[in-house]
Chain A
Amino acid sequence: MHRIWAIIERDLRRFRRSPTLIVMSMLMPLVQLVVLGYAFGGKVKNLEIGIVDQDHGVPAIKLKEMFQAVAANARTFDTIAYHDQAVALHDLREGRINGVLTIPPHFSRKVLAGANPRVALVEDNTDQFSTSALGGALTELLATYNSPADPPRETAKVTLDMVEIYPYVPYIQYLLPGTITLAIFVSAMIGGGIIFIDDKARGLHEGYLVTPIRKFELILGFNLAGAIKAIIAGFVLVTVGSIIAGIPDPLNVLRLARMMVLVVVTALALISMMFLLMVRVSDPLVPRAIFGVLNTVLFFPSGAVYPTASFPPWMKAITVVDPFTYAVHGFKQLVLKNTGLMSISYDLAFLVGFTLLAMSAATLLFRRTL
């Protein structure tokens, strides 16, 4: 135990004296939380729609007024009046506006005659988020336009009443579980990957290998030292991240305690995975080179930024074996739903099993010689 503690002590003393390293391993995930959270989380607003009125009748004017009402209130879009459809379409192709709504000639006559009146929306479909927002807003607006001012009572019509059992979850809160996992991963990558290989290349491991320390003591020491640093990073993200993301009652002691259980288990899983990947590596460029790829392969298929239900089968296969998946799911349960540990028992069991497997494989592959 003395020997294992010696390795941990050495690593933690060095960590404490490298404030840049501490800041970097925690700052990057926090920046990602804030930037991605606000970049993806907000509603699409202030799109530009060109309106070409070729009718000029009263029903057309009513429709335009409804558009202007949306522009003035919800601000999903602003309207720009065009007299010439060709000019409007040219501006659309040039990217000056996001769509062109054309009210065709005889629109008013068809409305009054009840003869299937139509308006046309030409949209820039290269941006699916804007197209979707625009389509949704216009569909809603036309439904309102179509509904009679004095609707008859229709008892046979089925309507859906939706009840949300949790308070509204902004995207930044949805992203927080992934960000906590990412902070633990970055710390594991730096501590278990980059620093481990740098030390090896500098000959520091030679110093360990000539002592009577046993192979398993060495591996346990390296893993625990890396895990402690990752746990510190995880704790900061759990607390600071919850405050930044606006989680209700962010410093709830019981929830923090449950989350720390998951932080510890996740840290051990990720550091043992990293150690397994690096156990035979000696070139310091390797961990730096695979950092980005590993981050992408583990983070995005985990459901941290988008539901896994939408993934193709090959990506779902990654999701199943990716430790991120279980960490992110666990943190979602604890952060967004404030559940107990029983609801994440499967996640915890997977991560513990993964740790044991990775550490055993690393012990088998680890060479006690140079």
Chain B
Amino acid sequence: MSAVEVEHLTKRFGDFCAVDALSFAVERGEIFGLLGPNGAGKSTLIRMLTTLVPPTSGSARVNGFDIVRAANGVRQSIGVIPQAMTSDLELSAEENLNIFAKLYGIPREPRRRAIKTLLQAVDLEPWADKPVKMFSGGMRRRLEIARGLVHEPNIFFLDEPTTGLDPVSRVAVWDMLSRLKRERDLTILVTTHYMDEADKLCDRVAIVDHGKLAALDSPLKLKASIPGRNILEVSFSKVPAGWENTLRTLPDVAELKAEDHVFRLASHNGPRTTVALMEAARSANVTVTSLSVQSTTLDDVFVHYTGHQLRDALQAPATAESPYLMKRH
């Protein structure tokens, strides 16, 4: 039995379809990444799977429990770290964990032991009795991870756990998650904006856009699935007529995209295409003003499957956010 099984899961808000008949399964013990721009439907999907939002149609089972008919079974077996930082700032780290352990009905002695172990696991034991308002963003996120694990769940949902954290804190959070996953035999379903993180840490990645599944596989296979092993990004002093055709016919070029006078060439053999490109430019009396050659990344996979840059999508204005909503920073 898979840890999470999703079948034609759909969520509509009026005419807007946030999640459109998604189907996939998350296997036990894997870290499953959900990638997609803001508004792609990732958070709605996680909220449905964590019983916070009822689906419009379709079904899903988490740890074998149906998310509608056996919602309490789902809640008992999952840990959830929502997008917003939701720890109580006035309470200490220990008090925050204690309150949540009580909400899960954990008796006093196991509760005390679990809190001590978790505070050690997330490196917050020295600050156990300090109010959370004195914590940095990274410390607060680590505390929330501990809070999500206080009842020893099998499946852990994290909605953009590292957004807004500095690079050191991001690395710390991911190291912690990898370690906790190993130690506690967790299945982790995580959404993230950071492609490099997903590449390194996720066993499998689903790319979601406009509520639909654009691609699903391991990062390695996803990268292999798009044309070319290398990406050449090149710009020129001038673009003569028919230049695009010239570039397209260079050796080993699998795909060509032009955007704002920058050409992106997907190549099966980066060095050979680069040499040919330089020769073609010299013959046509065109100066190469910039050139970069890189291996295929998940960014490229994302662009290939969704047709636009994730970065652009992230800059879209957020809608209907309360001025009181606490932001991560």
B51 engages A13 (CB within 8 Å): no
Say whether A13 contacts B91, CB under 8 Å. Answer: yes
Interface stretch, picked from A41-49, A65-73, A112-120, A202-210, is: A202-210
Which residues of chain A from 265 to 303 have any CB-CB distance to chain B below 8 Å in the complex?
Answer: 282-284
Point out the residues of chain A lying under 8 angstroms from B323, CB to CB: 284
Q: Is A213 an interface residue (CB 8 A)?
A: yes
Q: Is A140 an interface residue (CB 8 A)?
A: no
Quick one: closest A residue to B54, CB to CB?
A369
A212 to B325, CA, bound (A): 25
Q: Are B80 and A5 in touch, CB under 8 angstroms? A: no
Contact of B90 with A by CB under 8 A: yes
| Nearest neighbor of B103 in chain A, beta-carbon distance | A211
In B289-329, the 8 Å CB interface with A consists of 322-326
Residues of B within 8 A of A252 (CB): none
Q: Give the CA-CA distance A9 to B95 in the complex, in Å.
A: 10
Residues in B lying within 8 Å of A, measured CB to CB:
47, 50-54, 71-72, 75-76, 78, 80, 82-86, 88, 90-91, 95, 99-100, 102-105, 131, 147, 322-326
A206-248 CB contact bits vs B (8 Å, 1 = yes)? 1111111100000000000000000000000000000000000
If over half of B's interface residues share one DSSP class (helix, strand or loop), that class is named, otherwise mixed; here it is loop
Interfacial chain B residues near A369, Cβ < 8 Å: 51-54
**CB contacts between A and B, total, < 8 Å:** 86
Q: Is A153 an interface residue (CB 8 A)?
A: no
Docked Cα-Cα span, A10 to B85, in Å, equals 17
B80 cross-chain contacts in A, Cβ below 8 A: 206, 210
- Interface status of A39 (Cβ within 8 A of chain B): no
Q: Is the CB of B91 within 8 A of A207?
A: no
Chain B residues positioned under 8 Å from A208 (CB to CB) = 103
Chain A interface residues toward B at CB < 8 A: 2-3, 5-7, 9-10, 13-14, 17-18, 198, 201-204, 206-213, 282-284, 368-370
In the bound complex, do residue A14 and residue B88 qualify as a contact, i.e. CB atoms below 8 Å apart? Answer: yes
Contact A201 B72 (CB under 8 A): no
Which chain B positions have C-beta within 8 A of A204? 86, 88
Output the nearest chain B residue to A284 by Cβ-Cβ distance.
B324
- Decide if A17 touches B90 in the complex (CB within 8 Å): yes
CB distance from A359 to the nearest CB of B (A): 21
Q: How far is the CA of A211 from the CA of B86 in the complex (A)?
A: 14
Asked if residues B326 and A202 are in contact (CB atoms below 8 Å), the reply is yes
User: B51, B90, B104: which contacts A18 (Cβ < 8 A)?
Assistant: B90
